[in-house]
Structure 1
């Protein structure tokens, strides 16, 4: 078991590079997406939205739940890695052939002939991704997010340049297809170049069985979760127009840039760190509690804030043609408030090896969502009704997730809600004030947006300061550490000595506060 200082250094290093990934990769993706949204039409994004679910499900089948099983395992051998690598590659080839053959049927289902070739080309991503799974797993296990971040950023920049060029030249939806394929190709090549891991010519059925019990349940759970998360693409694409699907697709994408960036950062760092202390109940509970409170402190006001400024934001950034997507975006942001909380609770079950409970929870939540979706379709509530069903299910799921995970670490639903409620309430109050002021301001979108952002941030920070909020202190401490690491990285590069200096600076800050 890692000692406290070593774990702290690894965690800070992981947070640093995940934060850099959020700023660099996420920032570049937003810029590229904004440029594409201004050049392309909503229907182009709608066509991609029709095939997203098939690519997402295929990637899960290829992984088969083995990634998290390998990350959790403390004694993984070269034989284990090699076996899983060949298994992933074999499954990816089978899935590609299946999608190739089914492309025409999928096209007929949506009534879009263009989808046949789009699916057959885009499906190459599945094979390419299978080649990078083990490379990424080894980096995550070592909490080496520096390499992951660097490869991601380079891939985003190069593929973005290619995509924008194609969009300007009039390639339409094919610029989006090439973006997805080229990004995965570049990142996979870079991961192989930097990681230097090579599979051995060995395949062990024992290794496969070793991880199958844990991974298979996660696979079924992930398939259910991904299918339902992407189900609206299928429903909207089949029942409504591709233009409406385009509005929904980009509303989801821009919400996810914020919500999932934070959620994925939390999960990427928290899961391997929590796994490393899985046998120390007290440390595990304390670390878990700190993670969900800190992530909520950041994500709650961010999601509420984005919902309140959506109209001027979309008008300025994307243009007037995307304003019909505002209401979708607002509802999706409210639903995204709890994403980091959900992910961290689910991570605890994986850390504890309770993939059986993980699967049971997904079944319960999806049955509930199915009822809500059927109800919204029966009442003909439209796309707004479908998204509202997701919003309601997100809050219901909080009770399901916290109940099962809470039993594993003696941190009940009541305790979690009690810890999260002050931040939730403050964020809602902040959102009401910002939205009300924005609706009364007589200025243009640029001025309104500026005033709303300043007002929202100032109000939230001042109230947190007055309440002596512990998460504010935690975030401040993390930011100080991150800024120091940025400075050290620019001057000397990331090193063990840099980690020691970060830890020393954080300790000194705490001494000053105590004094």
Structure 2
């Protein structure tokens, strides 16, 4: 069959619809995971969560390799044909098999590294999810290219809900860590099946060498960035598991997971929506720059007060949701709010670079960021988990400065403009934290009442200051909500 052109870059008129469904998908999905996580945390001991957290890095690496590289190439390329999609399908499935066999073979050595033999069977089963998930990459790439996120939302939400039911039932039956494994694999399987049912694409021609030559250079650069990001995002789990106890890993994981709920929601929404939009606008510098500035302001308006509010309520939130056995996570969560505040801006800087096809530059930026992280871990690993998190906060701030420098060099969005777009929301958030602590510092209410009091006061102060000093961003949010 001759190659036939497929959909071109998404039209701008679809942006609001895409953003709406991205938001629905992420918030409902994370809501399901959040509720499921609370239930499982009360049924399963922290040490059992720690066992899974110790091995998740190896699965996450493979998952990001499949999801990032060639999927991004499908979205970014200007003309896509059937042969390109068939090539990506075969490449991802082959990669998943190679990764699975590699993990299966090395599982005993990984268990020996941690001195925990239970990890062998857990890791071998958990990594099978890579094979299950691999056929969905082309489908999600095509849907993202067309900004059709409604279909992705239906598939992912159904998968997460059913997987959560399976995980809770198995935990109730006493399967402990195996309940988490079953939940992970079943969620991926259900999502993959539904995407193939709903997405509307099936292979109709053979893979080709020309498709490899067209898609792989960009895809490999993005995959290399994703590989680095995956390794270093999960490096803390590996190092904590090696130098500390499984319970320490679990406390870190729980704090990290709560912190990442708003961060991941915002990151995925922005990445899915903004990347194809920037790809379609980069030839018009003024429009491109305006789009970027609005994205930064909206991100700052959202993430900075969210992390500030989470900092104010960290200890009460952990106790209320998870119980006193998880309280060591609270101090870690407070420091992680600094990390969470920087990550969406790092993502935005990366999107600006990759949307222009500068995969090699994006890779070099990742190298600089990760060198800083390795240095931080080397200094703090033998101290304590808290010291490691503090070091990560410092590293994240430094990494943002590096990323902003490269963005200003290769795009029309300068470092000064980036700082001026973030600074008003940062200072407002910090001021609101200070005032809230002064007013309610001696508040005697506990648990839910304290959370409500601090959240209400902080929200009132923040919105009032935003109305006075940041009206332009509020107008953008109003336009977005009413379209």
Coarse TM-score class (shorter-chain normalised): over 0.9
Aligned partners of 1:436 and 1:101: how far apart in 2? 57
Task: Name the counterpart of 1:461.
Answer: 463
3-state secondary structure, aligned to 1:65: helix
Task: Name the counterpart of 2:354.
Answer: 350
Task: Name the counterpart of 1:415.
Answer: 417
Task: Name the counterpart of 1:406.
Answer: 408
Q: How far apart are residue 407 of structure 1 and its match?
A: 2.1
Aligned partners of 1:119 and 1:40: how far apart in 2? 18
Q: 1:437 to 1:310 in 2, by over 3 A?
A: farther
Question: TM-score, normalized by length of structure 1?
Answer: 0.90
Task: Name the counterpart of 2:4.
Answer: none
Task: Name the counterpart of 2:229.
Answer: 225
Matched, 1:255 2:230: no
Task: Name the counterpart of 2:472.
Answer: 470
Matched, 1:298 2:305: no
Q: How far apart are residue 386 of structure 1 and its match?
A: 1.0
Q: How far apart are residue 201 of structure 1 and its match?
A: 4.3
Q: How far apart are residue 372 of structure 1 and its match?
A: 1.8
Cα pair 2:82 2:205 within 8 Å, conserved: no
Aligned partners of 2:26 and 2:112: how far apart in 1? 39
For residues 120-131 of structure 1, the aligned pairs below 5 Å read 120-131=124-135
For residues 378-457 of structure 1, the aligned pairs below 5 Å read 380-457=382-459
Aligned partners of 1:437 and 1:383: how far apart in 2? 32
Task: Name the counterpart of 2:337.
Answer: 333
Task: Name the counterpart of 1:22.
Answer: 26
Matched, 1:60 2:64: yes
For residues 242-321 of structure 1, the aligned pairs below 5 Å read 242-321=246-325
Cα deviation 1:296-326 (Å, max 9, x = unaligned)? 1000000111011111111111111111000
Cα pair 2:292 2:413 within 8 Å, conserved: no
Aligned partners of 1:437 and 1:238: how far apart in 2? 43
Q: 1:61 to 1:417 in 2, by over 3 A?
A: same
3-state secondary structure, aligned to 2:327: helix
Cα pair 1:128 1:184 within 8 Å, conserved: yes
Cα deviation 1:187-244 (Å, max 9, x = unaligned)? 0000000012111341212211212221222222221121111111001001100001
Task: Name the counterpart of 1:44.
Answer: 48
Aligned partners of 2:86 and 2:108: how far apart in 1? 35
Q: How far apart are residue 254 of structure 1 and its match?
A: 1.2
Q: 2:162 aligns with which of 158, 162, 166?
A: 158
Cα pair 1:309 1:435 within 8 Å, conserved: no
Q: How far apart are residue 356 of structure 1 and its match?
A: 1.1
Q: How far apart are residue 112 of structure 1 and its match?
A: 1.3
Aligned partners of 1:372 and 1:94: how far apart in 2? 32
Q: How far apart are residue 110 of structure 1 and its match?
A: 0.8
Q: How many residues align?
A: 474
Aligned partners of 2:36 and 2:67: how far apart in 1? 28
137-146 or 461-470, which moves further after superposition?
A: 461-470
Task: Name the counterpart of 1:493.
Answer: none
Q: How far apart are residue 408 of structure 1 and its match?
A: 2.4
3-state secondary structure, aligned to 2:441: helix
Aligned partners of 2:277 and 2:24: how far apart in 1? 19
Task: Name the counterpart of 1:211.
Answer: 215
Cα deviation 1:147-167 (Å, max 9, x = unaligned)? 111111111111111111111
Q: CA RMSD in A?
A: 1.4
Aligned partners of 1:263 and 1:375: how far apart in 2? 29
Task: Name the counterpart of 1:185.
Answer: 189
Cα deviation 1:106-165 (Å, max 9, x = unaligned)? 111111111111111111110111110001001000101111111111111111111111
Question: TM-score, normalized by length of structure 2?
Answer: 0.95
Aligned partners of 2:191 and 2:119: how far apart in 1? 25
Q: How far apart are residue 412 of structure 1 and its match?
A: 1.4
Q: Which runs of 5+ in 2 are unaligned?
A: 1-9
